[in-house]
Amino acid sequence: MSALPPEPPPGSILVVDDDDLFLRVCTAVLKRAGFQVEGLRDPTQVVDTLKRGRFDAVVSDVRMPNVDGVQLLRAIRSIDEAMPVVLMSGQPTVEAAMQAIELKAMRLLQKPFEVDVLVDAVTFAVRSRSSSAPMHLHQKLDRSMKALHMAYQPIVGTRDQRTVAWEALVRCREGAKDPGELLHLAEQTNRLSELSRRIRDTVARDAAELPTDALLFVNVHPRDLDDPHLVSGDSPLSRIARRVVLEITERSSLEEVDALQSKLFALRSLGFRIAIDDLGAGYAGLATFASVEPDFVKLDGSLVRGLSSSGKQQLVIASLIELARELGSHVIAEAIETEEERSVLSVLGVDWMQGYYFARPGPPFQAPNLAVLKAA
């Protein structure tokens, strides 16, 4: 069989086949590819199953006792006109193919088929279900993800003057011109989870070179907290969770995340630590600080820029540092570009620092020029 294509979009699939062996094989293949899968041998149970749960696509054999695939497709259409359905048949007929087309089946696969043919068909079905974005946006995101790599920016300790961590930052060699466009493409096509998984798995692979005494900061979108892949103990990043800080970048409010506390507890149980990014700007306010109880907080760059000439900014940062320490959080200042900013932040008592003043993002895991600290 052919190798599985990498990382299809996550989705929930219902597989229907009266052949127990073929049902187990299809279910195993799709689970291995990253989908959540439920299998049914009895096609008469499909409608009730669809009514009870949320599915993104149905995969069904055509020739089954009691209810064949075409009859099943009609029943599915009676409750969900838009449900993507992939049909499978050992002996597809012209009549069956015409009926499948009439009832808007996504694909009609002829058994036996290669593993990647099934995964590709289901992947396409899930994408059609989850997004009405133009195909050219999907294609651009595909190109971007194929050219995706990570850059790493060091974070240095204020007192001990050494690299204590690196932040992983996504980059593309083609397609999206910058990380903002890449994330926007993923949101437009409803493929944010797919992109996030690719990023996390890439970081986990790079982490083989991470110095043993350093941490790795990895950005997660609030919507990633709903992805079971993130909290799976089998995912590549979870295997190194005790060395990873998940940095929640609030492009949307954490108030939209259901059962936030239980999800944070599950992540911490795996060994992850949590950071809040951009404290002092956007959604990252004190309410977020209190609800997340982060291990680290990163001060927004707007508080750092021009800091040396603004008493108000210095007062705000001093207050945030005091609050963080009372709650047991370490404070990281980012976007530091000048010696004046570094010096004031050091006096104010920031724990760690990050910015172009020390090093630009680069290949893993290059040390910054710490001579700037030692000379200060």
- CATH at residue 242: 3.20.20.450
**pLDDT at position 251, please?**
53
- Selection from 1-10, 99-108, 166-175 with the highest mean pLDDT: 166-175
Pick 155 or 160 by higher pLDDT.
155
Cross-strand bridge partners of residue 57: 13
Same domain, 212 and 145: yes
Residue type, 317: I
Mean pLDDT confidence for 287-311: 87
The predicted model gives 305-332 an average pLDDT of 91
Of 115, 130, 145, the one marking the end of a domain is 130
Residues in a beta bridge with 218? 168, 246
> What order do you get walking across the sheet with 36-40 strand by strand?
36-40, 12-16, 57-61, 85-89, 107-110
What is the Cα 154 distance to its own chain's centre? 22
Q: Tell whether the model's pLDDT for residue 201 goes beyond 90.
A: yes
The model's pLDDT over 45-92, given as tens digits with 9 standing for 90+, comes to 888 888 777 788 999 888 787 777 678 888 887 777 778 888 888 776
**Quick one: average pLDDT of 212-219?**
95
Residues 50 and 162 in one domain: no
Residues 151 and 269 in one domain: yes
Establish if 2 belongs to a structural domain: no
159/116 same-domain check? no
Asked if 154 contacts 165 with a C-beta cutoff of 8 angstroms, the reply is yes
Q: How far apart are CA 17 and CA 373, in angstroms?
A: 66
Single out the residue in 88, 105, 130 at which a domain terminates.
130
Lowest-confidence pick of 102-111, 126-135, 198-207, 350-359: 126-135
Highest average pLDDT, of 31-45, 55-69, 207-221, comes from 207-221
Residue-level pLDDT at 2: 41
Q: Can you give the pLDDT at residue 100? A: 67
| Whether 188 and 121 share a structural domain | no
Q: What pLDDT is recorded for position 1?
A: 39
Q: With H, G, I as helix, E, B as strand and everything else as coil, classify residue 75.
A: helix
User: Within a domain: residue 368?
Assistant: yes
User: Does residue 5 sit within a domain?
Assistant: no
Note the pLDDT of residue 97: 66
Both 90 and 227 in a single domain? no
350, 155 contact by CB (below 8 A): no
* pLDDT at position 136: 79
Residues 293 and 321 in one domain: yes
**pLDDT class for 372, splitting at 50, 70, 90?**
low
Task: Identify the H or E element spanning 288.
Answer: helix 286-292
In whole angstroms, give the CA distance from residue 150 to residue 235.
18
The answer on 187 and 158 residing in a single domain is yes
Q: Is the pLDDT of residue 328 over 70?
A: yes
Mean pLDDT of 304-327: 91
* Residue pLDDT, tens place only, 93-142: 666 666 666 667 778 888 888 888 899 889 888 877 665 567 778 888 88
pLDDT at res. 329: 94
List CB contacts of 126: < 8 A, sequence separation 6 or more. Answer: 8, 9, 10, 11, 13, 35, 56, 57, 84
282 and 145 share a domain? Answer: yes
Higher pLDDT, 258 or 76: 76
Q: Kindly state the percentage of the chain with pLDDT values over 90.
A: 41
Q: Domain span at residue 126?
A: 12-130
pLDDT for 110 equals: 82
Q: Which of 77, 103, 130 is the C-terminal boundary of a domain? A: 130
* pLDDT at residue 298 in the model: 93
- In total, how many domains does the chain have? 2
Euclidean distance between the first and final Cα of the chain, in Å?
Answer: 61
What is d(CA 33, CA 49) in angstroms, rounded to the nearest whole number? 23
pLDDT at 260 over 80: yes
- Beta strands 12-16 and 163-172 are unpaired
Q: How high is the mean pLDDT of the chain?
A: 85
The pLDDT assigned to 160 comes to: 82
Judged by average pLDDT, the poorest of 63-72, 218-227, 359-368 is: 63-72
Closest CA to 300 of 355, 253, 258: 355
Q: Rounded distance, CA 200 to CA 2, Å?
A: 25
Please report, for the domain that includes residue 19, its CATH number. Answer: 3.40.50.2300
Residue 5 pLDDT > 60, yes or no? no
